Amino acid sequence: MLYLLVCTLAPVNARERLVEAAQDLLWERGYVGTSPRAIQDRAGAGQGSMYHHFTGKADLARTALQRTADRERAGAEALLSGDGTALERLTGYLRRERQVLRGCPVGRHAQDPDLVADPELRAPLETTFAWLRARLAEVVAEGQEAGELRADVDPAAVAAALVATVQGGYVLARAAGRPEPFEEATEGAVALLAALAR
């Protein structure tokens, strides 16, 4: 018990501070807009510490992106495997509270040409969206099997459209400088899903 307490109170080490600083800055500024120096400054870590723990900016960014992707995936899974009918869980995914104007901490990086050109940096994006689409397709198929949703649509295509609506909702909100377009887009998807249920 005392051991646990000591561990809890121990200062977060430099590696951990670097990863968390990179997560924040990547979300806020993107990969091309984030310098190694800015990460070190925010982490309160020196250049030597950064290059002790990581081979460089790409290595640190990959670690940070993977951690962000894992967090987002866990949040979506909790929602999709929770209580409720298939339609309720899909609606819950669309209406999940998000920091709309900050953009998606995973999807925002798809616009960065350097990041998508590097297979290792792109991997957390690719695997997260592949997983999310497959998971939503399972829930759509569950709803079809339960007779809750019409059976004459392709679950994978509907799932892709739902994930895309959320990602595009961020684009519309940030383009407008206000969160409402995100909500209008996701409510439109909720209405289209509801039409599948009737």
Q: Which of 15, 131, 174, 179 binds its own copies (CB under 8 A)?
A: 174
**Structure tokens of 48?**
């030597």
- Cβ neighbours of residue 57 closer than 8 Å, sequence gap 6 or more: 34, 35, 36, 39
Between 51 and 92, name the residue whose CB sits nearer to its own copies.
92
In the numeric block, the tokens 């051991």 are attached to 3
Cα dist from 150 to 130, 143, 165, 191, whole Å: 24, 8, 20, 14
Does 146 bind its own copies (CB under 8 A)? Our answer is: no
Q: Using an 8 Å Cβ cutoff, are 82 and 178 in contact?
A: no
Q: Which amino acid is at 142?
A: E
Does 170 bind its own copies (CB under 8 A)? Our answer is: yes
Least Å distance, CB 103 to its own copies, is 6
Phi, psi of 46 (to 5 degrees): -85, 170
Residues 24-63 that bind its own copies (CB under 8 A): 28-30, 32-33
Between 63 and 128, name the residue whose CB sits nearer to its own copies.
128
Does 113 bind its own copies (CB under 8 A)? Our answer is: yes
Q: Interface residues with its own copies (CB under 8 A)?
A: 28-30, 32-33, 103-104, 106-114, 116, 119, 122, 125-126, 128-130, 133, 150, 153-154, 156-172, 174-177, 181, 184-189, 191-193, 195-196
